Every structure is written in structure tokens, then in C-alpha cells.
């Protein structure tokens, strides 16, 4: 081991005292406080969630679907084994599930888990994007997988299967969408110019709108949409970028500018969908603002250099080498992951994810400001 340097007016926001308790939980790394705090705000029935996205939310889909190995030290902090998550521990979606006192979501593709999927399913897979349409596992493929899952679940429910999700369960479930980063980042890494990348944004937004409408037509009424983070601050992308247009924090300006344009379009899209889907609740969450605050004020929140990778190779300033990535022969891993924001150059540490989840649960970054557990109320 090496060490180195809806109707928002009818739903109340999480009280300040609850957020303070939540923040204390974050510092102590205990999940029990967040569970009790959020449940006290009104989660009155079992939560059912369906997640669509990429590696930021993949709880093992890449491993179970393609057999791709994700080795230790991934998973070392919380699970003490590799679970297919690209982090040292829990992802944001895991922490959000814990806030509702529900089990971690099982990947839809995991037929070996023995799960009955009573609390939903995770369709997110590493590397996913909204485009192109028919490359696994793009967003429309994930939606098609959901449609198959729903049809099979309803079929089982009609036979009297106790653990199958019924029609009411699908109607009351939360549909979380967290995708789009790969569409932008991969375009840059393939050599597209800033203008070429940003011209693709409307097409990506249309795909997300189509996904929401398809899920709505399947009975979904409660949606939680994350925008994309400042991917210009991801160490891997900084290292691989040919044009180092760095800002004062060491992040790629053009990449983050594209992220902001995407987020602005997604915000307006969410507003439009609220007017079109009259009885739907659509919450837009500003993940960019949360992560940008963490990265630009890392030391203030108890983290070290946010652009330095915990698990990688190469030493300062990034400790990233695309030839020796985390879990591959020759990698090095930091002793204190809790001090790092970046786990492997793309994904975050559990400590950073915990901080991010606490901000999401505060409702301060949500439009409208609705608590995460709104969908599991009677």
C-alpha cells in the first residue's frame, strides 16, 4: 500500500434540524441516523425505485451483464469485497436507498442474486449514454429492459406471486434518471471540438425526454432527474485531454462549459415536461452545483486535493495513468480514501458520495424543493 498527499406546495422541505442530523451522520459514516431522519419526514410504505443511468449509479450491472471484472480494492470501504461498483464503497444511489431504509438496488441483469426485486431494479450500466440508440446499454435500451421487467412482474402478480410488483407499485415508484455525462465526455475524448460536442446536446435531451415519456406511458408518475457534474474536473479526462484549457481550479474549462449548457437544456426540458405531463411530479437536481462546490472547496470540507486519484498510478498531481488503472496490476491505493474526492479518476470515493448524498437530501439543490422520500408517502 502506498500513501501520498408534482405539487411542491403540498410537500414540505426537510427541516433544518433534520439536515443538521444528516450532516452529523455524514461525518460519522453511520447510516442509521439518515434512515431515521428521512423516515421521520414521511416515508410511510415500502419504497420502489427504478434507476436508469451510467457508472455513477451502476451497482453491478457491468459485471452481471457482461462478466467484466471489477476487482478489489473497489468495494473495500463498506462492502469489504468487490460488488461491481466503481468506488471504494457505496454510491450515491446506495445512500439514497439507505435514507429510505430500503435495500440496495439489484442490477436488472443480475440473475444470480436471488433477488425478488420487490424494491425495484437498477438498469444503470457502466459506460452507458443516451446515444447512439442501439449500443448496449444506452438509455432507450434500459427503458426497453424496464418494459420487459414490468410485463413479467405484472404477469407474476396475476398468478398470486407475493413478491411481484403490481400495477400500483409501478405507478407509485420513483423513476430516477442520471445519464448524459458519457455523451459529452466521450465526444471530447474522440476528438470532437467544443462546437461539435455542444451541437449534440439537443439530441441527447430529446432522448431523455423520450425516456421520461415512455416511462410515463407505462404508468410512472414520479421522476427524479440528475443533471451532469463538472466532468472537466475528472482527473482521467484532464490527463487524456490534448487541449489543457484549465481554469483556476485546474479543471478543463471547455468540458465544464459544455456540462453547463447541457444542464441548462435539461432544466428547461424538465420544465416543459411538467406542463406536458400534467399529473407527473418531476424533480430536477443540480448535481453540478453540488459537485462543483465539493471540488472547489475540498479542503473546507475535509478533503485533500480533489484532482488527485486515490486508486491509480503515477504520483502527483493526478496519480492517474490510463495504462495502470485501479485494480489492474501495478496500481497504488491511498491509505485514507475518506480524504479523497476522486477514487479512480472518474468515480468518487464513498466519502465524497456521502457528502453529495447529504446535499441531495437537503432539497437545497432540487427544483421543486421536494424531499427525496416524497414518492413513498401515502
Active site residues: 55, 344, 347
Query: How buried is residue 367: exposed, middle or buried, by Cβ count under 10 Å (0-12/13-18/19+)?
Result: middle
Give the Å distances, CA to CA, from 30 to 82, 190, 302, 350, 360: 21, 41, 17, 12, 17
Residue among 154, 172, 148 nearest 49 (CA):
172
Query: Cell 465524497 sits at which residue?
Result: 352
Helix (H/G/I), strand (E/B), else coil: 284: strand
Length of the chain measured in residues: 378
* Strand stretches in the chain, DSSP E: 49-53, 120-122, 174-178, 222-226, 281-285, 311-312, 332-333, 366-367
- Give the residues across from 273 on adjacent strands: none
C-alpha cell recorded at residue 375: 414518492
- CB under 8 Å to 278, separation ≥6 — which residues? none
- Residue 270 cell numbers, joined: 424538465
Amino acid at each position: 500500500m502506498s500513501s501520498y498527499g408534482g405539487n411542491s406546495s403540498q410537500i414540505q422541505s426537510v427541516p433544518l434540524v433534520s439536515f443538521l442530523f444528516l450532516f452529523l451522520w455524514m461525518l460519522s459514516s453511520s447510516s442509521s441516523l439518515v434512515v431515521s431522519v428521512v423516515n421521520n419526514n414521511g416515508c410511510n410504505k415500502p419504497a420502489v425505485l427504478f434507476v436508469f443511468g451510467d457508472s455513477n449509479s451502476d451497482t453491478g450491472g457491468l459485471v452481471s451483464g457482461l462478466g467484466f471484472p471489477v476487482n478489489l480494492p473497489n468495494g473495500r470501504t463498506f462492502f469489504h469485497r468487490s460488488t461491481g461498483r466503481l468506488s471504494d464503497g457505496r454510491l450515491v444511489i446506495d445512500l439514497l436507498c439507505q435514507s429510505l431504509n430500503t435495500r440496495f438496488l439489484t442490477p436488472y441483469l443480475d440473475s444470480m442474486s436471488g433477488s425478488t426485486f420487490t424494491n425495484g431494479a437498477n438498469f444503470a450500466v457502466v459506460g452507458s449514454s443516451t446515444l447512439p440508440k442501439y449500443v448496449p446499454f444506452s438509455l432507450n435500451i434500459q427503458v426497453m429492459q424496464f418494459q420487459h421487467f414490468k410485463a413479467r412482474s405484472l404477469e407474476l402478480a396475476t398468478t398470486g406471486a407475493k413478491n411481484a410488483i403490481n400495477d400500483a407499485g409501478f405507478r407509485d415508484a420513483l423513476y430516477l434518471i442520471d445519464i448524459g455525462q458519457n455523451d459529452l465526455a466521450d465526444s471530447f475524448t474522440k476528438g470532437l471540438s467544443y462546437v461539435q460536442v455542444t451541437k449534440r446536446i439537443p439530441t441527447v435531451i430529446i432522448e431523455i425526454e423520450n425516456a421520461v415519456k415512455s416511462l410515463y406511458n407505462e404508468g410512472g408518475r414520479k421522476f427524479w432527474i440528475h443533471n451532469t457534474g463538472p466532468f472537466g474536473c475528472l482527473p482521467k479526462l484532464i490527463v487524456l485531454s490534448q487541449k489543457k484549457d484549465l481554469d483556476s481550479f485546474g479543471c478543463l474549462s471547455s468540458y465544464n462549459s459544455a456540462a453547463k449548457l447541457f444542464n441548462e437544456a435539461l432544466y428547461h426540458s424538465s420544465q416543459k415536461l411538467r406542463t406536458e405531463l400534467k399529473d407527473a411530479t418531476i424533480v430536477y437536481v443540480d448535481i453540478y452545483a453540488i459537485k462543483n462546490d465539493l471540488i472547489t472547496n475540498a479542503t473546507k470540507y475535509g478533503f485533500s486535493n480533489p484532482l488527485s486519484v486515490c486508486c491509480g498510478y503515477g504520483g502527483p498531481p493526478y496519480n492517474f495513468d490510463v495504462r495502470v488503472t485501479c485494480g489492474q496490476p501495478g496500481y497504488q491505493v491511498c491509505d485514507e480514501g475518506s480524504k479523497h474526492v476522486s477514487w479512480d479518476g472518474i468515480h468518487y470515493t464513498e466519502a465524497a458520495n456521502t457528502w453529495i448524498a447529504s446535499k441531495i437530501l437537503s432539497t437545497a439543490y432540487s427544483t421543486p424543493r421536494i424531499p427525496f422520500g416524497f414518492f413513498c408517502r401515502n
